[in-house]
Chain A
Amino acid sequence: MKNGAARGVTDASVEAVLTSVVRDEAGQLTAALVRLLGDFALAEDLVQDAVVAALEHWPVDGLPTDPTAWLLATARRRAIDHWRRQRSYEEKLALLVRDGPSPEHADEVDDRLRLIFTCCHPALSREARLALTLRAVIGLTTREIARGFLTTETAIAQRIVRAKRKIVEAGIPYRVPHPDRLAERLAEVLRVVYLVFNEGYLATVGSSPDRRDLADDAEWLARLVVHLLPNEPEAAGLLALIRLHRARWGTRFDHSGRVVLLRDQDRSRWDHEQIAEASELVLNALRAGRPGPYQIQASIAACHAEAASWEQTDWRQILLLYDVLLRFTPTAVVRLNRAIALSEGVGPAEALVEVDRLESALSGYHLFHATRGELLRRLGRRDEARLADEHALELTANRGETSKEVQSDPAGSDSFYPGHYGVG
């Protein structure tokens, strides 16, 4: 971003305003332009150009009074430039001038949904879905996406070009899926949002100050999906889950950047207002009577977030929720997390039996050995505990992680650890 404050405000707040304006407007504009032009790749390019131009001009010239109009005008100019080089220029130009997209268009909801479902189409690779969604739906620039994923701009640009080519050449439709397929396809969309969140969540360690906050983008995306599909409880569940994680964001690391276990976190520093709101959100979602993995994970997170302390946590409730979660995602990692709740709610001996059953599936997973070590220690089996700890340490060292706490108590850091649920 260029230096130079707009209208006397600081660079940081200009950036914040830009972020929210671009998110609000760019995706909407892309969505409308695709409908209008019938050309996904072109519409996406035009808006991207306009966004890049906005990020150059706005910090210098100040925010335009009507940012959408500014973006639209810029996109339109680029479209005209593009069509000048094409034969059908005049007839398309007439179309664009007569029927310019406007944000209050009645089709806005459908437009945006179409865009989201196309970007998250299962025929695209997962990496492509993430990059394309961030760019087309949120309006991130290629550079910002690269910053979020700690990769090169070239890599992201290639991913996006390839994805757009596949959309056009493979005939990926630009539409909201048939109601029969909506749940299945929505799960794909939510998975993309979840993965974006995961990137942001995991990135906090060793993050550089100018790294894009993908967790914030993920929350915004989740809110958008909830807004567009208010009757889909899983979307609300995911939004609640993200908010519950973020409510205790600041307490996950100490001043030196080391992981602080859930057990040891300063609960007075959690955002209790946000926790209450998010808990309400997931409760409302559950009333629809269509539970799913995100609603259940959010419920588990809410149980933790509402507990006054680790000891006063309602482990029985959490255990029941894990039983439900296992019906949706019967993975070894969920079983491991359930075993941790079992050790607190029932006892370490019972938990150890469960954990030992997971050996073949999880023997290469450091948290499996760390959990075993903890349980064995609580049972007074010190030598075995030490062995398990060593095993965990070896596996962790291979992953380049050095903080001892991460391994010593997975329940602490990982009842909330999105990467470990393996949803989807």
Chain B
Amino acid sequence: MLLLARSDEEWEALSDDQRDYPAITRWFGELAQRGVLMGGAELQSARTATTVAWENGKPILTDGPFVEAKETIGGFGIIDVADLDAAIEIAKTWPATSHKVEIRPIVPVD
């Protein structure tokens, strides 16, 4: 799993041109073509988040993300590759360089 972290505030201040969506679309497209892309999307900003937490077993809704932070998850990509090196190679090519890309292995289900 590639978690695409960004500052919502900075990202929203950019124009579509500056965000360079064509490059991002190309990036996902190339991964899909290589057959390693399992899924991915950009997320709305964290201000749109709703969080469900449980208190005494009872679900409670909160307006906002589960943790307040300057940087939040702005999107994700799920890739299927052999090892961490392969994931790093892909992460390094992510075009929006104001982001950070966190690589996290997915727990396998037997």
A123 interface contact, C-beta 8 A: yes
**Segment from B32-40, B69-77, B83-91 that makes contact with A:** B83-91
Interface bracket on B:
under 10
A172: B residues at CB distance < 8 A = 83-85
B83: A residues at CB distance < 8 A = 171-173
Interface string of B74-110 (1 = CB under 8 A from A): 0000000011110110000000000000010100000
- Contact call B88/A170, Cβ cutoff below 8 A: no
A375 to B1, CA, bound (A): 56
B87: A residues at CB distance < 8 A = 171
Closest to B87 in A: A171
B84: A residues at CB distance < 8 A = 121, 123, 170-173
Closest to B85 in A: A173
A254 interface contact, C-beta 8 A: no
List residues of A (162-209) whose CB comes within 8 Å of B's CBs. 169-173, 177, 181
Secondary structure at chain A's binding surface: helix, strand, loop or mixed? loop
A121: B residues at CB distance < 8 A = 84
Interface string of A94-136 (1 = CB under 8 A from B): 0000000000000000000000000001010000000000000
A123 to B82, CA, bound (A): 16
B105: A residues at CB distance < 8 A = 169-171
**Residue among B82, B85, B103 facing the most chain A CB atoms (10 A cut-off):** B85
A170: B residues at CB distance < 8 A = 84, 103, 105
Interface string of B41-55 (1 = CB under 8 A from A): 000000000000000
B82: A residues at CB distance < 8 A = 171, 173
Closest to A173 in B: B83
Closest to A185 in B: B85
A171: B residues at CB distance < 8 A = 82-84, 87, 105
Closest to B103 in A: A170
- Residue pairs across A and B with Cβ atoms less than 8 A apart, 21 shown, are A121-B84, A123-B84, A123-B88, A169-B105, A170-B84, A170-B103, A170-B105, A171-B82, A171-B83, A171-B84, A171-B87, A171-B105, A172-B83, A172-B84, A172-B85, A173-B82, A173-B83, A173-B84, A173-B85, A177-B85, A181-B85
Using CB atoms and an 8 Å cutoff, list the residues of chain A in contact with chain B.
Answer: 121, 123, 169-173, 177, 181
Using CB atoms and an 8 Å cutoff, list the residues of chain B in contact with chain A.
Answer: 82-85, 87-88, 103, 105
